[in-house]
């Protein structure tokens, strides 16, 4: 798993990394808190992103990690950004399916895994 701040994604192309994560045989991830869904999340609300996919030229797919929410960002690349296209965002119920559909349209290879979903959070994964 890799993590980036919004600044890393758009400005310095670095990565959020703590060497202490390597001190264990278990996967250690940065802390996160859940988003409360009281309002629509914006890119500026995200402190840390999980990297789902990255490719040269500025293409990338990211999921909000802190705060943790059904919020995805597709960065469309430097060439399209120069033409006025920015990042595409997908938020809330059904957002994962919309992001996957868009990734396929952009020919971005993305794989999915079956995961356990808490019944109280099921509303986030169904189409409205």
Sequence-ordered list of residues with C-beta below 8 angstroms from that of 127, at least 6 positions apart, any chain: 93, 94, 97
- Predicted confidence pLDDT, tens digits, the chain (128 residues): 899 999 888 888 778 877 776 677 887 889 999 999 999 999 999 999 999 998 877 789 999 999 999 999 998 776 556 555 578 999 998 899 999 999 999 888 887 665 556 777 776 666 65
Query: How many angstroms separate the first and last alpha carbons of the chain?
Result: 30
Residue numbers of the domain that contains 106: 3-125
For 14, 78, 86, 109, the CA distances from 82, given in Å and listed in that order, are: 21, 6, 9, 24
**Distance of alpha carbon 21 from alpha carbon 48, whole angstroms:** 16
Query: Structurally, how many domains does the chain consist of?
Result: 1
Q: 72: how many CB neighbours lie within 10 A of its CB? A: 24
Instruction: Give backbone dihedrals phi and psi of 124, rounded to 5 degrees, phi first.
Output: -75, -15
- Pick from 21, 7, 126, 105: nearest CA to 62: 7
CA torsion angle 84 87 92 95 (round to 10): 100
């Amino acid at each position: 798993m890799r993590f980036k701040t919004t600044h890393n994604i758009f400005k310095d192309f670095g990565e959020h990394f703590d060497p202490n994560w390597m001190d264990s045989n278990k996967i250690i991830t940065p802390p996160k808190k859940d988003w409360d869904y009281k309002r629509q999340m914006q890119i500026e609300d995200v402190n840390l992103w999980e990297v789902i996919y990255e490719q040269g030229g500025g293409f990338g797919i990211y999921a909000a990690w802190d705060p943790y929410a059904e919020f995805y960002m597709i960065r469309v690349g430097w060439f399209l950004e120069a033409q006025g296209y920015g990042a595409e965002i997908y938020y809330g119920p059904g957002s994962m399916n919309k992001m996957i559909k868009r990734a396929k349209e952009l020919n971005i290879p993305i794989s999915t895994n079956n995961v356990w979903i808490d019944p109280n959070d099921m509303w986030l994964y169904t189409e409205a």
